[in-house]
Structure 1
Amino acid sequence: MASYLEQMQKHFQTHSRTRDYQTHSSKVHTVAWNCDGKKLASGSFDKTVCTFTLDRDRLSKDHTFRGHGDSVDQLRWHPSHPDLFVTASGDKTVRIWDARASKSAAIIATKGENINICWSPDGQTIAVGNKDDLVTFIDFKSHKIKGDRQFKVEVNEIAWNKTGDLFFLTNGQGSIIILSYPDLKMSYSLNAHPANCICIEMDPLGKYFATGSADALVSLWDIHDLVCVRVFSRLEWPVRALSFSHDGKMLASASEDLVIDIADVETGEKITAVQCESPTFTVAWNPRKPLLAFSCDDKYERDRDGGTVKLFGISSES
């Protein structure tokens, strides 16, 4: 019987097409799938969010959401509600959106220009980080700020573990800060990389998390023992975005390299590489199938006006 690595290598040999969707008027900063994998959303420098419905391997655009006064830097769907998502923007607000409506369901004013955002696993709390390294916690139901935490180091990306009792932050000193939640007491500080630790991603099984760094390395960590079990080193530029596949067996790593590296999580071996025209800053595996959404930095693309969302993993017949 073929190994998982061999199966997926064969799969992508016949499903290696990439399809482009022109959606925004300028660079796409963030793409994300909803919990059932039927909708994709993208946020852009053009201050808008676009939503799409997936039909087999094709996207059809649903709506363009307007309201933010500055760039939409990150968006995340609710962990269990397929129509709700949140956005972090430089306009000093967090917005909660309902994909079925034409305007934001709630606007929460924050203290700074927001750059990263995430949900607690139970969907009750939203955490948002800003350019001043302040992380704010928002109650989803009341839309009220529950509290915040100021950090003295550069905070790059934030995430809860699958059980919601630990809160993770990557920082500019190459470390992973882990706080207990909800009391936000320091639990661990892991020296993960010798350079800026940029991004963090939890696997869907609750077994691993991965971090990407300015040293061009991706490190894979056992989330229970908090030890590094593997390092992926095929990229040459700072790693900007990570995404685990729906089964937790593949890890996509994006950077300023002109490829997205897709690796077998358990062996570290290369499954395939997605060719890109320019640096890639956002990637997201569909939560139900081996279909990867991503977007590149359009300022490097000579023949495009900007704002393109891409899907990889489409069969040549589709």
Structure 2
Amino acid sequence: MAAASYLLESQEHFKNNGRTKEFSAHTAKVHSVAWSCDGRRLASGSFDKTASVFVLDKDRLVKENNYRGHGDSVDQLCWHPTNADLFVTASGDKTVRIWDVRTAKCVATVNTKGENINICWSPDGQTIAVGNKDDVVTFIDAKSHRSKAEEQFKFEVNEISWNNDNDMFFLTNGNGCINLLR
């Protein structure tokens, strides 16, 4: 929490002084950004086919590592809900990759049926859900790295998320609605 509270103080300082700080993260457009569960690391995913991880040092971000391996843009990423060393990326190359910051390597690559655009980790850390451009959501077992279920939707799926109790799954759609799965 210290990093998170520092970040808030830092943001307030920038706001009061009318300044913003910019940090070079990638060579192309950045699609996604997320904090680790302990608030110590910030990861970003980019059109340049990479993910980067940063640590906050005073009032600046310091790049800890760059993660390469995807064959297309990294469209979204998220951190494991309780393990601050693991994050997952969704890419247009039809793969999901699980990364470990301790080794700075990909620990698993999961092939999917389409170009992935959104991803989330269940609150219990057991399942990764990934949605693709064809409105298919695949549920991946986080331990075996295999698909456990897949569902094709007849509407545009824009974003996905579990509730904190891990017993409901939500999808936003192109019709202005939120759909609930149990």
Q: Tell me how far 1:59 sits from its aligned partner.
A: 1.1
Q: Tell me how far 1:23 sits from its aligned partner.
A: 1.6
**Cα deviations across residues 229-282 of structure 1 (Å, max 9, x unaligned)?**
xxxxxxxxxxxxxxxxxxxxxxxxxxxxxxxxxxxxxxxxxxxxxxxxxxxxxx
Q: Tell me how far 1:145 sits from its aligned partner.
A: 0.7
- Give 3-state SS (helix, strand or coil) of 1:17's partner: coil
CA distance, structure 2, for counterparts of residue 73 and residue 15 of structure 1: 33
CA distance, structure 2, for counterparts of residue 35 and residue 16 of structure 1: 29
Q: Match of 2:24?
A: 22
1:142 aligns with 2:140: no
**Cα deviations across residues 152-204 of structure 1 (Å, max 9, x unaligned)?**
00100000011111100000111110011xxxxxxxxxxxxxxxxxxxxxxxx
Q: Match of 1:163?
A: 165
Could you tell me which of 56, 67, 86 is aligned with 2:88?
86
Q: Match of 1:315?
A: none
Q: Match of 1:132?
A: 134
Q: Match of 1:64?
A: 66
Higher relative contact order (CA 8 A, sep 6+): 1
Q: Match of 1:99?
A: 101
CA distance, structure 1, for counterparts of residue 89 and residue 17 of structure 2: 32
CA distance, structure 1, for counterparts of residue 75 and residue 92 of structure 2: 7
CA distance, structure 1, for counterparts of residue 102 and residue 132 of structure 2: 28
Q: Match of 2:43?
A: 41
Q: Match of 2:56?
A: 54
Could you tell me which of 164, 170, 175 is aligned with 1:173?
175
Q: Tell me how far 1:57 sits from its aligned partner.
A: 2.8
Q: Which runs of 4+ in 1 moved over 3 A?
A: 11-17
CA distance, structure 2, for counterparts of residue 151 and residue 125 of structure 1: 19
Q: Tell me how far 1:18 sits from its aligned partner.
A: 1.8
- Provide the TM-score with structure 2 as the length reference: 0.90
Contiguous gaps of at least 5 residues in structure 1: 1-7, 181-318
CA distance, structure 2, for counterparts of residue 18 and residue 34 of structure 1: 23
Q: Match of 1:4?
A: none
CA distance, structure 1, for counterparts of residue 73 and residue 158 of structure 2: 17
CA distance, structure 2, for counterparts of residue 64 and residue 84 of structure 1: 14
Q: Give the residue type in structure 2 aligned to 1:124.
A: Q
- Give 3-state SS (helix, strand or coil) of 1:128's partner: strand
Aligned length: 171
CA distance, structure 2, for counterparts of residue 133 and residue 93 of structure 1: 15
Distance 1:16 1:80, change over 3 A: farther
Q: Give the residue type in structure 1 aligned to 2:171.
A: L
- Give 3-state SS (helix, strand or coil) of 2:23's partner: strand
Question: How many percent of aligned residue pairs carry the same amino acid?
Answer: 66
CA distance, structure 1, for counterparts of residue 89 and residue 109 of structure 2: 10
Q: Give the residue type in structure 2 aligned to 1:76.
A: C
Q: Residues 110-259 of structure 1: matches in 2 within 5 Å?
A: 110-180=112-182
CA distance, structure 1, for counterparts of residue 17 and residue 94 of structure 2: 41
Distance 1:15 1:41, change over 3 A: farther
Q: Match of 1:31?
A: 33
CA distance, structure 1, for counterparts of residue 53 and residue 161 of structure 2: 23
Greater Rg over alpha carbons, structure: 1
Q: Tell me how far 1:56 sits from its aligned partner.
A: 3.2
Q: Tell me how far 1:14 sits from its aligned partner.
A: 3.4
